[in-house]
Structure 1
């Protein structure tokens, strides 16, 4: 099968966009094959679906939500349009509402509105408690330390599955402004130590602002692939606006053959 793809690089979190139509039941298998193509350096896969009304929907490989893919999708739609709009409303998996992506072609950046956190809870491993920020489509566990062994990550995610069934889980190792993200997608059973994570950056920002009452809080989170800015607005202790952004590049369209 020949597929048309574009490769997006949002702060190192390389996302392969499949531009050709495919059946959703085939998405996991296609994704696994694309992620095995070392020359693409992909960390995740998103499928661009054309709807009956002519609009576009972006479906992540496991139906999860991904902030970096969302802002890259907005950048892609602006890039391909005649208007080159600065504000693009995108329809993506893991979000019940359309999200606004603000694109700056000159600077090569995109910032997306994010779904608000549903709750903050805790998971426990070996009598240690860790905060977990629950979003629609993905749950992020915050670990205040340098990255730990894969065995620790596996155990933490297994416990998170028990506490909060979800499409995907992230473990964000946080050392002040330095963050190392790991993401597990349930339907594809893929575990990736990512170069950056947009929704994980948002989870970290919500966690870092947890004791604040009212105001706007901006966090620069330096990750292996680059820096992401996460914005949180709060009023009377409640989060009412979340945004995250950073650099994006998108390749020309190319063709690949898969089995």
Structure 2
């Protein structure tokens, strides 16, 4: 299945394969000469009866947009009617707890609101040559996101961001590195995602997990709750983050999901 969560093109593989084959299968599917998308997840049977479905990303990472894509697909197959809504409970790689997604049918697409895993901490992270005094490291169990406030999204800034993503990908020892260039004046986000195990470094059309990290960063900076829209190349996502004396206590992201195509891909990985 090919889905578009805010144009972050996502492939969900429903046939069964050994986990050791996920990465070579994904690498071929992602290529320009094949199905071509920004990420690949594999649909599995959940381990717990409390979950409806399980998502395992090709790089073992957690992906918010892929979770929303699978939740929308699950709701569609349950026959969710126009203007109806339902909650889909998922197990997901990179998440210790269940993740719950509220899905609303808005013909012809779906609007999803996903409760995101919380960051372990948000800490200052100065970057030589790119530091504006307003950057932070948002650390999760399985990933690192660097949020950089910048009103410049030119090629030089992107090249420096890509150097940060590549360096952290080689040294941090986690499945996913994100560098989020965020312009607070325009509320614009340029999301860069590095999955080292797939040798995949992509400027994505949108990033749900990156949107969550921007929300966590803004709530930490404000020392209070934040609700805002985040404009990305693929469209607008929404984030709500809560914060108190303990730190970030909840993050929810929302965005539209379209089901694009269904078919068989011939893989020779």
Normalised to the residue count of structure 1, the TM-score between the two structures is: 0.89
User: How big is each residue's C-alpha offset from its partner over 1:36-82, in whole Å with a ceiling of 9 and x where there is no partner?
Assistant: 14574410000001247785311011000111111111111111225
Q: Is the 8 A contact 2:13 2:40 kept in 1?
A: yes
Does 2:182 correspond to 1:174? yes
In 1: Cα distance, 2:136 partner to 2:169 partner: 14
Partner of 2:173: 165
Greater mean deviation of Cα atoms: 55-64 or 223-232? 55-64
Partner of 2:243: 234
Shift of residue 219, structure 1, vs aligned partner: 1.5
Greater mean deviation of Cα atoms: 37-46 or 63-72? 37-46
In structure 2, the residue corresponding to 1:64 is in which secondary structure? coil
Aligned residues: 253
Shift of residue 208, structure 1, vs aligned partner: 1.6
Greater mean deviation of Cα atoms: 174-183 or 76-85? 76-85
User: How big is each residue's C-alpha offset from its partner over 1:160-186, in whole Å with a ceiling of 9 and x where there is no partner?
Assistant: 357743210111111120110110002
In 1: Cα distance, 2:144 partner to 2:65 partner: 15
Partner of 2:206: 196
Pick from 152, 156, 164: which aligns with 2:160?
152
In 1: Cα distance, 2:242 partner to 2:46 partner: 33
Q: Is the 8 A contact 1:65 1:136 kept in 2?
A: no
Q: Is the 8 A contact 1:123 1:163 kept in 2?
A: no
Equivalent positions of 1:20-99 (< 5 A) are 20-37=15-32, 40-51=35-46, 55-81=52-78, 86-99=86-99
In 2: Cα distance, 1:141 partner to 1:16 partner: 26
Which structure carries more strand by proportion? Answer: 1
Shift of residue 91, structure 1, vs aligned partner: 0.6
Shift of residue 135, structure 1, vs aligned partner: 1.9
Q: Is the 8 A contact 1:116 1:240 kept in 2?
A: yes
Structure 2, gaps ≥5 residues long:
none
Partner of 2:9: 14
Pick from 106, 128, 139: which aligns with 2:144?
139
Q: Do the aligned partners of residues 211 and 237 (structure 1) sit closer, same or farther apart at CA in structure 2, a change above 3 Å counting?
A: farther
Partner of 1:225: 234
Greater mean deviation of Cα atoms: 169-178 or 78-87? 78-87
Q: Is the 8 A contact 2:46 2:53 kept in 1?
A: yes
In 2: Cα distance, 1:241 partner to 1:112 partner: 11
Q: Is the 8 A contact 1:183 1:193 kept in 2?
A: yes
Normalised to the residue count of structure 2, the TM-score between the two structures is: 0.86
Q: Is the 8 A contact 2:119 2:140 kept in 1?
A: yes
Structure 1, gaps ≥5 residues long:
1-5
